[in-house]
Chains A and B, each alone.
Chain A
């Protein structure tokens, strides 16, 4: 009898506890997600919000012939394909640098983490100044000239603009992944290294045969979150290049923003957003499978 009352009061409490979150998620996640799909099949223009007409697959057929769209897709994938390995390796290297327990190690940890304390907007503005193509006012070009090299166009040159953003993003983001790796490294039992060194393994071998296999799942997880983060690239091109020069840094999210809010093609922008979402889902499902493979 008492148990039954408990069960009933538990059920009541459960609904009381989940309802606020459920309502908010439904209103500000599920509903707009469904609306994105709906608008993607309309000619919705933000200037005429009362005249939304269904237009079938028009937006999508237009999309496939839109060179700017494809450029945005390839730019986004290029950024992701390069920044993920670069940032992951950098983060792992930094984590290994500070994985030993010595005095003062927390100072170095703080140093490698410090770009994370400044926001992406701060970092993007700072590096826009550092990347200035004139060696008299850009620190990096001053350094290149000093080393006897040609000054580089960095953000002004379509050939180097995206790479410049990649380099800066990896510098800013590596500290975060470093923390994850650090926890992973500290979880590897010391005995494994001792056993390896008794077997005559040097530094490189114990890295390859002890560290890497033990970190496998952590590495996969880091890659997954970095990929998803990278796909959403927006702030850097918005602050640093406005998508230019010659579309070289225009990403998918930037294109959604541009089409939706600057050119006011809401319906078309929703179609781009839907394609963006599908690509992100495919990538994250693919990687989840990879993680579960072991």
Chain B
């Protein structure tokens, strides 16, 4: 076999193998989208043939039905709103904390750093009962505050920011100090503008984590007013009449905001995941 033949064979194996695996891998999602476009009677017809993946008689009527039966826009906006607030506050509060841990000397620094690192993997599920009680005592049940405030400070974000800021050259900070810039001003004027990558990375990681929130909203959100998208599709799944077309449509709709986030910030997400692996 010549080198050329070998490359060709390699290419063929690569493309055929990957296409097959990828098709099998995404087939559940294709079925979801295809079913969301089909009339109800067509969804379970011919399940045992490949035709089940092709939306014959496709229409958007299932999507219209979802929007008629529940206020899907509101639930999406609810989720976007509270996740957005968490992310913005997270970026601010954890980045300044991470910066202090990277570049300042102060009493208790080592203690705080040890605490941050050891609490990074702390499972919030273990403390949700007293957290719920705390929310009730604060009068926050069914308030935005319960969804947002407890999750603003995050050891993982602090750690990510610290790791990034450690690499900011001290010369740069000293130069700023000589120019008469105080440490606070130096951070906001000099360091923050050159740290876009780490902010984008933490942003997308945090967005994904909270967009998926399920257990905590289940506990602290009781009415429709502040229902999140995840709770909404779960409720819709169980409410009569159970038609699978609209259910599949609701699932598809709920994935769209995340899809957009991924397309926009894909690079940072991939880097973020990858860097946690290499540094860990």
- B97, A21: Cβ atoms closer than 8 Å: yes
A143, chain B: closest CB distance, angstroms: 7
Question: Inside 8 A of A270's CB, which chain B residues have their CB?
Answer: 129-130
Given known pairs A102-B11, A228-B123, A232-B125, the reply for A179 and B255 (CB within 8 Å) is no
- Quick check: is A53 within 8 A (CB to CB) of the other chain? no
Mask of B180-221 contacts with A, CB within 8 angstroms, 1/0 = 001110010000000000000000000000011011001100
Determine whether A154 belongs to the interface, using a CB cutoff of 8 Å to chain B.
Answer: no
CA distance A277 to B251 in the complex (A): 33
A15 touches B106 (CB 8 A): yes
Beta-carbon contacts under 8 Å, B91-148 to A: 93-94, 96-97, 99-101, 104-106, 109, 112, 115, 119, 121-134
| Cβ–Cβ < 8 Å partners of B270 in chain A | 179
Closest-by-CB residue of B relative to A275 is B126
Which A residues are CB-close (under 8 A) to B276?
Answer: 180, 221
> Which chain A positions have C-beta within 8 A of B280?
217, 221, 224-225, 291
Do B214 and A18 touch across chains, with their CB atoms under 8 A apart? Answer: no
A207 to chain B, nearest CB (A): 16
- A160 CA / B15 CA spacing, docked (Å): 34
Q: Which of B99, B215, B277 contacts A184, CB < 8 Å? A: B277
Interface 1/0 per residue, B259-272 and A, CB below 8 Å: 10010000000100
A17 in contact with B99 (CB, 8 Å): yes
B130-A18 in contact (CB<8A)? no
Complex alpha-carbon distance, A11 and B104, angstroms: 7
Judged by a CB distance under 8 angstroms, whether B63 is at the interface is no
User: Which residue of chain A lies nearest to B108 when distances are taken between CB atoms in the complex?
Assistant: A18
Contacts of B119 in A (CB 8 A): 25, 29
A217 to B, closest residue via Cβ: B280
B47 touches A137 (CB 8 A): yes
Answer whether residue B164 sits at the interface, using C-beta atoms and an 8 A cutoff. Answer: no
Q: Are B32 and A126 in contact (CB under 8 A)?
A: yes
A293 beta carbon closer than 8 Å to chain B:
no
B76 at the interface (CB under 8 A from A): no
Contact check, A29 vs B122: say whether CB atoms are below 8 A apart: yes
By DSSP majority rule, is chain A's interface helix, strand, loop, or mixed? Answer: helix
Interface centre among B18, B158, B183 (most CB of A within 10 A): B18
Q: Are B277 and A261 in contact (CB under 8 A)?
A: no
Least CB distance from B12 to A in Å reads: 11
Give complex CA distance A10, B14 in Å: 56
Partner of B130, one of A25, A39, A187, A218: A39
Instruction: Give the distance to chain B from A43, nearest Cβ to Cβ, in Å.
Output: 14
Chain B interface helix/strand/loop/mixed: helix
Determine if B126 and A273 form an interchain contact, defined as CB atoms under 8 angstroms apart: yes
- The reply to whether A33 and B123 contact each other, CB–CB distance below 8 Å, is no
Judge if A156 is at the interface, Cβ distance under 8 Å: no
B-side contacts of A107, CB under 8 Å: 22
- Give the distance in Å from the alpha carbon of A97 to the alpha carbon of B136 in the complex: 50
Residues of A within 8 A of B94 (CB): 21
Kindly state the separation between the CA atoms of A138 and B28 in the bound complex, as whole angstroms: 12
Contacting pair A136 B44 (CB below 8 A): yes
Cβ–Cβ contact B123 & A20, under 8 A? no
Stretch at the interface among A55-63, A77-85, A111-119, A189-197: A111-119
Contact between chains at B126 and A118 (CB < 8 Å): no
B26 neighbours in A (Cβ, 8 Å): 111, 114-115
Q: Are B21 and A146 in contact (CB under 8 A)?
A: no
Within 8 A of B (CB), among A236-289: 238-239, 253, 256-257, 260-261, 266, 269-270, 273-274, 276-277, 280, 284
Give which listed residue, A129, A184, A273, contacts B127 with CB less than 8 A. A273
Q: Are B29 and A13 in contact (CB under 8 A)?
A: no
What are the residues of chain A within 8 A of B247 when measuring CB–CB? 125, 129
Complex formed: what's the CA distance from A120 to B130 in Å? 25
| Contact, CB under 8 Å: B255 / A14 | no
| A155, CB-defined interface residue at 8 Å | no
- A276 close to B212 (CB less than 8 A): no
A211 neighbours in B (Cβ, 8 Å): none
Pick 25 A–B contacts, CB within 8 A, sort by A: A7-B105, A13-B182, A14-B109, A17-B97, A18-B106, A21-B97, A24-B149, A24-B152, A28-B153, A39-B129, A111-B22, A115-B26, A126-B251, A129-B248, A135-B47, A143-B48, A182-B274, A217-B280, A222-B277, A228-B123, A260-B128, A273-B125, A276-B126, A280-B123, A284-B121
Please report B residues at the A interface, Cβ cutoff 8 Å: 11, 14-15, 17-19, 21-22, 25-26, 28-29, 31-32, 44, 47-48, 52, 93-94, 96-97, 99-101, 104-106, 109, 112, 115, 119, 121-134, 149-153, 155, 158, 177, 182-184, 187, 211-212, 214-215, 218-219, 230, 233-234, 237, 244, 247-248, 251, 254-255, 258-259, 262, 270, 273-278, 280
Residues of A within 8 A of B (CB): 6-7, 9-11, 13-18, 20-22, 24-25, 27-29, 31-33, 35-36, 39, 49, 94, 97-98, 100, 102, 104, 107-108, 111-112, 114-115, 117-122, 125-130, 135-139, 142-143, 145-146, 171, 176, 179-184, 187, 217-218, 221-222, 224-225, 228, 231-232, 234-235, 238-239, 253, 256-257, 260-261, 266, 269-270, 273-274, 276-277, 280, 284, 291
Kindly list 9 other residue pairs between chains A and B, CB separation below 8 angstroms, not including A36-B129, A117-B255, A119-B254: A13-B182, A21-B153, A118-B254, A122-B251, A125-B247, A126-B248, A128-B237, A184-B278, A253-B215
